[in-house]
Amino acid sequence: MDKKTENINKITSELENKDFNIYYFTIDTKGNPNGGVANQYDHVKMLTELGYNAHILHDKEKYTSVEDWLGEDYSNLSHKPTKNLNVNPSDVIIVPEVFPTVMEQLSKFPCKKIVLSQSYSYIFELLGIGKSWNYDYGFDEVITTSEKQLNYIENHFPGIEGSIIEPVISDLFKKPKGDIKEPTVGIVARDQSDVLKIVKSFYLQYPMYKWITFKDMRGLSKAEFAEQTNNNCLSIWVDRISSFGTFPLESMKSNTPIIGVIPDMIPDWMLSNEVIDDGLVLEDNGIWTENILNIPSLISDYMKLWLEDTLPEIIFDKMAETSSNYTYDGQKNKLGEYYQEMTNKRIESFKNILKDEKNG
Amino acid sequence: MKKMDKITVIIPVHELNDTTQELFEKSLISVKNQIKKADDVMVVIPDNDVLAKYLDEVSDKLKIKLNVAINKGESDFSTQLNYGVSKTETKYFTFLEYDDELMPMHISNAKKYINNYEDVSLFLPLIVNRTPEGKSYGLSNEPVWANEFSDKLGELDTECLLRYSDFNMDGMIMSKEKYIALGGLKPSIELTFPYEFLLRVTHNEDRVMVIPKFGYIHTILREGSIFSEYKKTLSIDEQRWWLSLAKKEYLYKEDREIRYEK
């Protein structure tokens, strides 16, 4: 048997037996919670449970543990440094959209290369003008988190193969005991100055509510964040460049209604199937506005209804319906199906090479 | 699911005229309109046949069953309430001033919180204050929900009560057993008897929580009401004196003879 056939047989065997590695290139957040990184860890955890050799790949020898903010279940997953890494042709490397320099470094690697695009707004931050993930770096597939983001990517990288796997909304987010909430408001904003704007404006315009506490949700571990969200009576979300909207979904799962600014790329879950006069209709799963300046008055209106216990039930029904779509088991199945299909295609592709060789 | 404990609404009344009858009927309607019904509605009155007859009529008129408790002793508010609690047959009680109203979810929230906070001895509602003309006049009891106002968010403690006395026990929810064990209200303390009681509860290391929901509508300084009379008849010095007295008397469970002297 010639060397090429031997190598290809070895690769297909590794693929068939799940004897290949899947590496998720991950930045070191130095102990700071980060939604995108959390999602990568979820992928590695799910794949490990599905019997794959999945690893967090990091470029620093000394990588800060995620135990403090994600917990032991995640810090105990396999971690590998890039230094002296041996990558086989059967292996898979996944690189976030924000690292085109890493993609370029890996472009000659003889393995399967996939982009994980969680935030469309980062795609062009470091990507050279005219450069393309697939044509220049060999990243011919992308995993992303929504239809809209996939369309956006396909428009810019024609020929790339895309799949949608949404993040998991953890079971840590749930109704508190007795579904009793506190009059506290959790606020998450990409730009911290928006937080100050909203809170200060609210207290000045509505001094009868100056006793309502706003909770800054930054820097909390996943468990602390979930507990606080579960207990809050309201969540506020301002992130115009959000691609998916994890926090609103977490809030919905906690049975905590959300007031939010509609992002530039409207999340799939925010849109109803209804269309009125060619216009999009938003779901009643939250209180949505295009203008951040409306938020203080929306908070005031909401708090009055909450304090009186007269909030409309439809919001809670819709919240439960929306957030039920992103369970750990559901997304694990999706991820498993994706990797199985991708692996099968690769096996077929390698076998076709041999077939073609044989047929001359 | 745990069985919900029962609650009596106690309404102390010492006399009613045409104006106050109208207010009293609004009070009763607010009790009737509770989303979760009270298990008993007790009106405590002095030994007064006219009042008893009126209550029969109003019970028929509004179709609300009233349990009338006749207190043959003193008819001050504290004595009336203490008497009402002693006659209560349910585990818990709440009270309503006859010229105030309960918000529709008051009993429902009371039961929910009792069920979920078994270690809390006394619950206070958020009170919506209004003038006799119906104008909004702010809230009461809300400060404990402000960040770092008290040691534990949502709960009163002695330290914060000693700093800030403006809490209102109208609509409070408590177990009969605990209320009696703590000694109830002290009839000898004028003006600041609710404040003294709250201090006594927290001093006993019992937890006091404010339910963060509008539970009670309080009409402030209605002409003829007990506190409007106090404000009219008591000098500033005397008002201060009662406040200072409350801060000493809470250390003792038993009431004693007290008289203000300049």
Annotate chain B with three-state secondary structure: CCCCCCEEEEEECCCCCHHHHHHHHHHHHHHHCCCCCCCEEEEEEECCHHHHHHHHHHHHHHCCCCEEEEECCCCCHHHHHHHHHHHCCCCEEEECCCCCEECCCHHHHHHHHHHHCCCEEEEEEEEEEECCCCCEEEEECHHHHCCCCCCCCCEECHHHHHHCCCCCCCCCEEEHHHHHHHCCCCCCCCCCHHHHHHHHHHHCCCEEEEEEEEEEEEECCCCCCHHHHHHHHCCHHHHHHHHHHHHHHCCCCCCCCCCCCC
Terminal C-alpha separation, chain A: 16
Cβ atoms of A284 and A318 closer than 8 Å: yes
Cβ atoms of A153 and A120 closer than 8 Å: yes
CA–CA separation, A292 and B192 (whole Å) = 46
Side chain identity at residue B60, one-letter code = D
pLDDT above 90 for A272 = no
Which has the closest alpha carbon to B15: B69, B52, B61? B52
Q: A307 in contact with B at a CB cutoff of 8 Å?
A: yes
Cβ atoms of B145 and B210 closer than 8 Å: yes
Q: Do A183 and B112 touch (CB under 8 A)?
A: no
Side chain identity at residue A41, one-letter code = Y
Cα of B24 to nearest chain A Cα, Å:
22
Which ipTM value was assigned to this complex? Answer: 0.92
Residue B1 confidence (pLDDT): 46
Q: Count of residues for chain A? A: 360
CA–CA separation, B110 and B97 (whole Å) = 17
Cα of A38 to nearest chain B Cα, Å:
30
Q: A305 in contact with B at a CB cutoff of 8 Å?
A: no
Task: Round the CA-based radius of gyration of chain B to a whole number and report it.
Answer: 18
Max Cα-Cα span within chain A: 84
Chain A and chain B share a number of CB contacts under 8 A equal to: 43
Q: B212 in contact with A at a CB cutoff of 8 Å?
A: yes
Residue B256 confidence (pLDDT): 92
**A184 vs B contacts (CB less than 8 Å):** 145, 153
Quick one: A126 exposed, middle or buried, by C-beta within 10 A (0-12, 13-18, 19+)? middle
**Residue among A307, A308, A313 with most chain B CBs within 10 A, to mutate:** A307
Residue A265 confidence (pLDDT): 95
Q: A177 in contact with B at a CB cutoff of 8 Å?
A: yes
CA–CA separation, B151 and B148 (whole Å) = 7
Which has the closest alpha carbon to A52: A86, A87, A93, A19? A19
Q: Do A211 and B154 touch (CB under 8 A)?
A: no
Residues paired with residue A214 on neighbouring β-strands, in sequence order: A185
Terminal C-alpha separation, chain B: 57
Cβ atoms of B78 and B187 closer than 8 Å: yes
* Angle, in degrees to the nearest 10, between helices A222-231 and A246-253: 60
Cα of A301 to nearest chain B Cα, Å:
14
**A211 vs B contacts (CB less than 8 Å):** 142-143, 145-146, 149
pLDDT above 60 for A351 = yes
Side chain identity at residue B81, one-letter code = L
The DSSP symbol for A131 reads -
Cα of B124 to nearest chain A Cα, Å:
14
**A178 vs B contacts (CB less than 8 Å):** 112, 115-116
Residue A277 confidence (pLDDT): 67
Residue A84 confidence (pLDDT): 87
How many Cβ atoms sit within 10 Å of the Cβ of residue A360?
Answer: 4
* Rounded alpha-carbon distances, angstroms, from residue A62 to A69, B37, B133: 17, 63, 70
User: How would residue A153 be classed by pLDDT, with cut points 50, 70 and 90?
Assistant: very high
Cα of B11 to nearest chain A Cα, Å:
23
List the single residue in A178, A208, A307 with the smallest CB-CB distance to B112: A178
Residue B3 confidence (pLDDT): 60
What are the average pLDDT values for consecutive 10-residue runs of chain B, which has 262 residues?
Answer: 81 89 96 96 95 96 97 92 97 96 97 96 97 93 95 96 94 98 95 96 97 96 81 88 94 90 73
pTM for this entry = 0.92
Quick one: A198 exposed, middle or buried, by C-beta within 10 A (0-12, 13-18, 19+)? buried
List the single residue in B103, B113, B143 with the smallest CB-CB distance to A308: B103
Q: Do B146 and A177 touch (CB under 8 A)?
A: no
Mean pLDDT, rounded, for A292-309: 97
**A206 vs B contacts (CB less than 8 Å):** none
List the single residue in A184, A208, A309 with the smallest CB-CB distance to B213: A309
Residue B180 confidence (pLDDT): 97
Cα of A213 to nearest chain B Cα, Å:
6
**Residue among A175, A177, A179, A180 with most chain B CBs within 10 A, to mutate:** A180
